[in-house]
Structure 1
Amino acid sequence: MTPTPASGTPLDAEALRALAARADTRQPCPACDSLRCPGWESLPSTFDTGVLEGVGTLRTADPDIEPTLDEWHPAGTHGWSPDAPIAPAFHPYNRCTVWRCRHCARLYLRYTEYGGYYQDERVRQVDPARVDATAA
């Protein structure tokens, strides 16, 4: 199960974009470089998650609102596309926690995919240019 960031602070698309823009992406970061994932990937079991600190969530703060399972792909992308928009109001983003590398401030989204016989923790690096505020 994806750990919940200690802050649990709900973030909207603009806050997510601003946090991602602060990252130092000029050079590879030895701490998190193995997570360079423009699209969703399984979190490597060998990755030291202690490198990341929780900074918030894209889940709604209202417990009475059930997150949609609808996805947002206006340009014909799909869930695994590296160029798919990061749309916080849509699945799977609306179920994500937000994490930052303690060394370079790169931002990552994490969520757990539950299947019939498995759980897969997934991760995606946040590219501020891909953050889409549609329906936010």
Structure 2
Amino acid sequence: MPDHLDIATLTDLARRAEARTPGPCACTKTPLDGWQSQPLSLDETQLREIGTLMPEHDPEPTFAEYLPGKIGYWSADAPIAPRYSPYNRCSVWECSACGRLYLRYTEGGGYFVDRRIRALRLHLIEDVAL
């Protein structure tokens, strides 16, 4: 199992990644600022798992979402709140080509499975208690 990343470690990883990756990304044509179904144009072999935000001692983390105001789940401005869903089910991945960090999880519904991905943005990380 990948290492658990607490909020301080996640923040530090995001800070370092943003400092070394200026400019636009050429790894995918789909913008990944907000949650997206993982695009087929993204070469998965370029991604390396860094760790997980899934709570260490909680086999079934909450499904509660943290979306203040009128922000929506798909919004590029939605906060990244690691204690809330879907972040508490995410792994953190690094692109070996550009050095950017991404959050990934699998959304499972009644008749589908959807791999979702979102760029990790330092200014959106919020340490909000449940």
| TM-score above 0.5, yes or no | yes
Which residue of structure 2 lines up, in the alignment, with residue 75 of structure 1?
A: 69
Gap regions ≥5 residues in structure 2: none
RMSD: 1.7
Matched pairs, number: 128
> Match for 2:22 among 26, 43, 61?
26
Structure 2: which amino acid aligns with 1:57?
A: T
The 5 Å alignment of 1:1-136 reads: 8-23=2-17, 24-30=20-26, 32-34=27-29, 36-62=31-57, 64-135=58-129
CA contact (8 A) 2:38 2:117 kept: yes
Q: Report the Cα offset of residue 20 of structure 1.
A: 1.4
Structure 2: which amino acid aligns with 1:130?
A: L
TM-score (normalised: structure 1): 0.85
Change in Cα spacing, 1:10 to 1:51, as seen in structure 2 (3 Å) is: same
CA contact (8 A) 2:28 2:41 kept: no
Structure 2: which amino acid aligns with 1:26?
A: P
Give the fraction of aligned pairs with identical amino acids, expressed as a percent: 45
Q: Report the Cα offset of residue 105 of structure 1.
A: 1.9
CA contact (8 A) 1:108 1:126 kept: yes
- 1:130 and 1:16 map into 2 onto residues whose CA distance is 12
SS of the residue 2:88 aligns to: helix
Structure 2: which amino acid aligns with 1:44?
A: P
Structure 2: which amino acid aligns with 1:73?
A: L
- 2:30 and 2:22 map into 1 onto residues whose CA distance is 15
1:65-94 alpha-carbon deviations (Å, 9 max, x no partner):
520000001232121111000000000000
Gap regions ≥5 residues in structure 1: 1-6
Change in Cα spacing, 1:14 to 1:34, as seen in structure 2 (3 Å) is: farther
